[in-house]
A and B are shown apart, each in its own frame.
Chain A
Amino acid sequence: MKKLKSNFLFVVVYVFIISCNNTKTLPFYGQREAKITTDKDGNQKIDTIYQTIPNFSFLNQDSTYITQDNFKDKVYIADFFFTSCSTICPTMHRNLTTVYNEYKNNPEVMFLSHTIDFKYDKPNVLKKYAQKLGVDTKKWQFVYGSKDSVYKMAERDYLVAVQEDSSAKDGYIHQGWLVLIDKHKRIRGAYDGTKTEQVAQLKKDISILLTEK
């Protein structure tokens, strides 16, 4: 009976310690698998392998190819849009511009907007769009790729639904997620870019992610 009591006390203290730990970490999104490795002493160790963004190569607004190398050791926010979109995109980018301005002077944060209008949004169109949005810098990349490569990447790697749809007002439908990627290419958050409170959360989560190695 006495032992039970001391056990109980231990649990209470333990719970206190855990709840005092304020360092918040962000979740991991997507598929994961366990990888079991055996070290030279024969001890087995289980590592969790999280879904990562694979290599890509897209033309940016300056008609140069952009790859994973441009995002090495960066936290970045990815989204899917098109320049002639009159539904959710202007709101998404109005909100994302506020994030851009907040992290303007932080070289560890970047932005990657993929167009899903493979017919019209060629690099020169993206260039004009970036200039007019007032964000035409290396920090915010606007990229163009083939329908196949961009759409596949959206659905499989960034978990954002995009679709060509002739019945939609502007010819395409897509989700307005702003996807937060960490320095190891893993998805750590998705925020509805049309909602200011979710974009405020994104700003907070970026600062949490920046403290991670």
Chain B
Amino acid sequence: MRSKLIIVVFFSAVLAVIYSCQSRGQINQAQYASNGKDLYLANCQNCHGVNGEGLGDLIPPLNDTLFLKSNKEKLACFIKNGVSQEMRINGKTYDGKMPGFSHLESIDIAQIITYITNSFGNKQGVYPYEKVATDLTKCN
């Protein structure tokens, strides 16, 4: 009876350890997204809105998953240097200027991109901070 109990306790302990261990990637994403949310609030929310809804035809929303996916390597440049080119988002053209946020570090930019691309209906996983540096070398 006693040995049976020990076996049950042992196995449930092992199970608990397994379940409580999220993969490294999941933890990373949670951390990125939660820091990214704070950074978004401080730097982006005034214009793009608390739900990424944008503002009329002045400021584009951030819920065009297809746009975000196909322009993923440009997002870091958009944030760091600003945007003055026309963009087509959700089938609408936006030609306003976005100011650059040159004070943001690579890790900040990675966290903001991770937050945006996993909120407002987007679900695109972690954008690692190492990628920011490579993407920024390709800005035009």
Contact = CB atoms under 8 A, between A and B. Distances in A.
The yes or no verdict on A and B being binding partners is: yes
Interface of A: 84, 86-88, 90-91, 93-94, 97, 129, 131-134, 169-170, 194
A180 to B, nearest CB: 23
A50 to B, nearest CB: 34
Given A91-B46, A94-B49, A86 B99 contact: yes
Contact of A129 (B46, B58, B97, B98): B58
A195 to B, nearest CB: 12
Contacts of A87: 46
B55 interface: yes
Contact of B46 (A88, A132, A133, A134): A88
Nearest to B94: A132
Contacts of B97: 84
A132 B47 contact: no
Interface of B: 45-47, 49, 55-59, 96-99
29 contacts: A84-B97, A86-B46, A86-B47, A86-B98, A86-B99, A87-B46, A88-B46, A90-B46, A90-B47, A90-B55, A90-B58, A90-B59, A91-B45, A93-B55, A94-B49, A94-B55, A129-B58, A131-B57, A132-B56, A132-B57, A132-B96, A133-B56, A133-B57, A133-B58, A134-B56, A134-B57, A169-B99, A170-B99, A194-B46
Contacts of B59: 90
B80 to A, nearest CB: 15
Contacts of B58: 90, 129, 132-133
Contacts of B98: 86
A129 to B, nearest CB: 7
Give the 6 A-B residue pairs with the shortest CB-CB distance, closest first: A132-B57, A133-B56, A132-B58, A90-B47, A134-B56, A91-B46
In this complex, the member of A86, A88, A93, A169 whose beta carbon has the largest number of chain B beta carbons within 10 angstroms is A86
A36 B44 CA distance: 55
Contacts of B55: 90, 93-94, 133
A88 B99 CA distance: 14
Contacts of A94: 49, 55
Contacts of A84: 97
Nearest to A169: B99
Contacts of A86: 46-47, 98-99
A176 to B, nearest CB: 10
A88 B45 CA distance: 10
A14 B90 CA distance: 63
Contacts of B96: 132
Nearest to B96: A132
A97 B55 CA distance: 10
A86 B98 CA distance: 8
Contacts of A97: 56
A87 B46 CA distance: 6
Contacts of B45: 91
Given A84-B97, A133-B58, A194-B46, 19 more contacts: A86-B98, A86-B99, A88-B46, A90-B46, A90-B47, A90-B55, A90-B58, A90-B59, A91-B45, A93-B55, A97-B56, A129-B58, A132-B56, A132-B96, A133-B55, A133-B57, A134-B56, A169-B99, A170-B99
